[in-house]
Amino acid sequence: MKNILVIGSFGQIGSELTPELRKRYGSSHVVAADLCPKPDSPLADGPVEKLDITDAEALAGLVKKYSIDTIINLAAILSAVGEKKPMLAWNIGVNGMLNCLEVARELGCAVFTPSSIAAFGPDTPADDTPQDTIQRPCTMYGVTKVTGELMSDYYFKKYGVDTRSVRYPGIISNVTLPGGGTTDYAVEIYYDAVKKGSYTSPLGAGTFLDMMYMPDAIDACINLMEADPSKLKHRNSFNISAMSIDPEMLAAEIRKHLPGFVLNYDIEPVKQGIANSWPNSMNDSCAREEWGWKPNWNLQDMTADMLKVVGEKFAKGLI
């Protein structure tokens, strides 16, 4: 990766991945693009461009302008919002992603478009979910992710486009709030623990899902894109996970730091239905074997760090 275009760079993952890429590859080599870039954002320390991923001509123009060799495509409508706006989710998740693949084919770029645990469905084995298994998701978001995986593999096999990706689990972070997914609760719980001492969970006790702290999610993207291609038997997309947790486990860990923390439940049927259709825990042995995937953060360390950082933001009146 020499010149990188990050599309959707102002979202939850992009707002942390873009600065890390700039640290490693140089600020002027990493272009931050989004539908509505914020001028006062820390990302203004390097090139920032307004881009609608569904505009193929504008996308090709940026790739040429900056001699881009790698497109990191983070634009998406996440699972919960996607159920309210399925056609928008399809347009961005599939048509936008196809624009990236076509531009990459014509102009010789590598492409990373993350998939998700949402690429699985109720017929998938829920525990220790294999790398290669049944994928019949029941959300529009999941349909876009399976389509993205298939099309990315198609472009690699037919045209030699260097496509690689991971199936991210729920990402927990403290810079930018999540954008409307089912796993958002696992971020919100920390903010509410600090601000109110309590949290009302939309998912019930015993709803196990894979999760990961943001530094591991960033490493996964960069390490996979830098991996030796001759070692990759899979490409789109690799299961990766750091922990399998439910709301009770998160609350118990938070109580080690904030003993009075109270967890309540008010189940949101749409989110609960989506969560029930996703794996409880994925098997990520192929990622470990093929490109050395290994998470550095567990529930204990992540919780201590989340409460510290969110606590500092609260003390400064930032949240």
- Active site members: 141
Binder among 31, 75, 101, 263 for ligand NAD (CB under 6 A): 75
Q: According to the binding rule CB under 6 A, does residue 53 interact with ligand NAD? A: yes
Q: According to the binding rule CB under 6 A, does residue 119 interact with ligand AKB? A: no
Q: According to the binding rule CB under 6 A, does residue 173 interact with ligand AKB? A: no
| Calpha distance 287→136 (Å, rounded) | 22
Q: How far is CA 25 from CA 4, 18, 65, 110, 133, in A?
A: 9, 10, 18, 16, 36
Convert residues 162-181 into a mask of x (bound to ligand NAD by CB under 6 A) and - (unbound). ------x-xx------xx-x
Single out the residue of 195, 289, 193, 280 nearest to residue 241, CA to CA.
280
Residues in 190-249 at the binding interface with ligand NAD, rule: CB under 6 A? none
Binder among 9, 18, 113, 116 for ligand AKB (CB under 6 A): 116
Binder among 117, 245, 286, 307 for ligand AKB (CB under 6 A): 117
Q: Are 295 and 141 in contact (CB under 8 A)?
A: no
Specify the DSSP element, H or E, that contains 49: strand 48-50
Q: How far is the CB of 265 from ligand AKB (least distance, A)?
A: 18
Residues in 139-158 at the binding interface with ligand AKB, rule: CB under 6 A? 141
Which residues lie below 8 Å from residue 240, measured CB to CB, with a gap of 6+? 166, 167, 168, 169, 212, 220, 282, 284, 287, 293, 295
Q: Nearest residue to ligand NAD, using CB?
A: 11
Residue 44 φ then ψ, to 5°: -70, 0
Chain positions contacting ligand AKB, by CB under 6 A: 78-79, 116-118, 141, 170, 181-183
